[in-house]
């Protein structure tokens, strides 16, 4: 009877591992061996001991294996061996989580990637960036690896991209599957935008104007206003409008704003400044009255025709023209 053995004897066999199956009948005879798996011819024959090696095991390698020996030229076939069942299990899969979960990240912020593997214990982490190239944390001043954590401090544009991780351990399974990628988006610090409605210049006493500040519409900004180095207004989330009603001279000056992400220590670049000028309204003075009176009288006299029937009416008009000051 043929004997069938497997080395190593691990159960289950994990994807990617290697196992060798060995068949033997009678060591004192010149046997040729044949291998089978689930009633299907498996391998070509070899004399003496025959080892079937499965490298990089996969699901397709699962099943029952057995062997038998034949003495060619003698029409002798041994009893077949007992079967060995191989089970190829998938490796545990790693996952990457991001702490904190802010998106996008802004330059200068700190972010930590954490690698986890659910099955088994005592995993160490191997990190990759881009096209599964090993992330060399030791080559950058703002990167550090500690246990299952990969930390980026003072993030910059070069830190943007996709990150993967895998777990490693000393015992089986020795590695995990790679995690799904996590994409870090790192944006330059945005600049606040300041607009004025309406855009009249100058602004006259008593008029109303609205100043509007906006940074990045995809984040929840808190806004702060300033005028001539003095804190101007309290904060509001999202859009923040400063309304100046009944403008006066005290409202003149430069205005600018900035946005802050509270709890993240992120402050936008401040906006360009806008200068408001509040002018007096136009008023006709008393000095214009005599000039207007003379103009009207001359106009009336020039238009009058001697002897016309309207002479009396014109005279009446001249006598009754006056200014109410």
Token look-up 């610090």 returns 189
Mean pLDDT of 158-187: 93
3-state helix, strand, coil in the chain (%, to 5): 10, 45, 45
Contact between 84 and 6 (Cβ < 8 Å): yes
pLDDT single digits (tens) 246-305: 999 888 888 999 999 878 889 999 999 999 999 987 655 544 444 444 454 454 455 555
In angstroms, the CA 203 to CA 214 distance is 23
In angstroms, the CA 49 to CA 69 distance is 10
Give kind and range of the element (H or E) at residue 297. helix 289-303
Question: If we measure between CA atoms, which residue out of 290, 240, 263, 93 comes closest to residue 179?
Answer: 93
What is the CA angle 173-175-176, rounded to 5?
A: 100
Tokens, residue 90: 């998938």
In angstroms, the CA 154 to CA 8 distance is 48
In angstroms, the CA 23 to CA 51 distance is 7
How would you class 55 by CB atoms within 10 Å of its CB: exposed for 0-12, middle for 13-18, buried for 19 or more? exposed
The pTM of the whole model exceeds 0.75 = no
- For residue 171, is pLDDT > 50? yes
- For residue 178, is pLDDT > 50? yes
In angstroms, the CA 32 to CA 78 distance is 10
pLDDT single digits (tens) 40-84: 556 665 556 678 888 988 988 888 888 998 887 888 899 989 999
Higher pLDDT, 201 or 184: 184
In angstroms, the CA 41 to CA 276 distance is 91
- In the chain the domains, ranked by start, together with CATH numbers, are 3-89 (2.60.40.10), 94-187 (2.60.40.10), 193-279 (2.60.40.10), 295-320 (no CATH)
pLDDT single digits (tens) 275-292: 999 998 765 554 444 444
Going through 130-221 in order, the beta strands assigned E by DSSP cover 133-134, 143-146, 149-152, 161-168, 182-184, 186-187, 193-197, 203-204, 209-214
């Amino acid at each position: 009877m043929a004997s069938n053995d497997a080395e190593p004897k691990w159960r289950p066999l994990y994807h990617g591992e290697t196992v060798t199956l060995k068949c033997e009948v009678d060591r004192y005879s010149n046997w040729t061996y044949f291998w089978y798996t689930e009633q299907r011819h498996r391998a070509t024959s070899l004399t003496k001991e025959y080892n079937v090696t499965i490298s990089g095991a996969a699901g397709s390698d699962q099943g029952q294996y057995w062997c038998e020996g034949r003495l060619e030229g003698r029409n002798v076939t041994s009893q077949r061996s007992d079967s060995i069942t191989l089970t190829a299990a998938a490796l545990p899969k790693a996952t990457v989580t991001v702490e904190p979960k802010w998106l996008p990240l802004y330059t200068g912020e700190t972010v930590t990637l954490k690698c986890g593997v659910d099955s088994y214990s005592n995993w160490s982490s191997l990190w990759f960036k881009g096209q599964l190239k090993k992330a060399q944390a030791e080559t950058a001043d703002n990167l550090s690896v500690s246990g299952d954590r990969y930390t980026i401090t003072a993030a910059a544009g070069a830190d943007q991209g996709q990150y993967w991780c895998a777990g490693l351990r000393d015992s089986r399974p020795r590695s995990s599957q790679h995690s799904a990628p996590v994409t870090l988006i790192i944006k330059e610090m945005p600049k606040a935008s300041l607009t004025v409605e309406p855009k009249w210049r100058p602004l006259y006493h008593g008029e109303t104007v609205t100043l509007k500040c906006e940074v990045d519409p995809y984040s929840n900004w808190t806004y702060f206003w300033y005028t001539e180095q003095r804190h101007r207004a309290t904060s509001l989330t999202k859009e923040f409008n400063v309304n100046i009603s009944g403008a006066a001279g005290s409202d003149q000056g430069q205005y600018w704003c900035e946005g802050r992400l509270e709890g993240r220590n992120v402050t936008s670049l401040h906006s360009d400044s806008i200068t408001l000028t509040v002018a007096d309204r136009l008023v006709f003075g008393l000095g214009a009255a005599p000039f207007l009176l003379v103009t009207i009288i001359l106009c009336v006299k020039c238009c009058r025709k001697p002897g016309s029937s309207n002479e009396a009416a014109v005279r009446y008009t001249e006598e009754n023209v006056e200014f109410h000051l």
